[in-house]
Amino acid sequence: SGSCSLKTCWLQLADFRKVGDHLKEKYDSAAAMRINRKGKLELVNSRFNTPTVEDLVYTDQSPDYCLRNESTGSMGTLGRLCNKTSEGMDGCELMCCGRGYDQFKTVQVERCHCKF
């Protein structure tokens, strides 16, 4: 009458917000690379440390998502609604790319289907 123990490991993704924050951090610190004559990647700016296998690298600059660009499918941010009081992604300063924005007030009348 021996006893045995059983262990089960579960692979589970971290919280979606944590994954997104981690990827954004990696994106913001990605290393610019170029391909040398031998076909090897090398740092564009040799003052930075050589990237590790955990780091993101890139050879092409990201497009300017603030501007409309039909070849990349970016609609730009011109004309989008933003939140004047927010400092987040929906905030006017960030969403309008520092170009300024127009303010307006609107009154929206809707039927509420109330019953008395």
Cα–Cα distance, 34 to 44 (Å, whole number): 6
pLDDT at 22: 94
Cα–Cα distance, 114 to 38 (Å, whole number): 74
Q: What percent of the chain has pLDDT over 70?
A: 97
What's the token pair of residue 55? 């780091």
pLDDT in tens, 5-25: 777 777 787 889 999 999 999
CB 51 within 8 A of CB 70: no
Q: pLDDT averaged over the chain?
A: 87
Strands 41-43 and 31-35: antiparallel
74 CB contacts (<8 Å, ≥6 apart)?
A: 63, 64, 65, 67, 68
pLDDT in tens, 52-87: 999 999 999 888 888 999 988 888 888 888 998 998
pLDDT at 21: 93
pLDDT(2) > 90: no
Domain residue extents for the chain: 11-62, 63-116
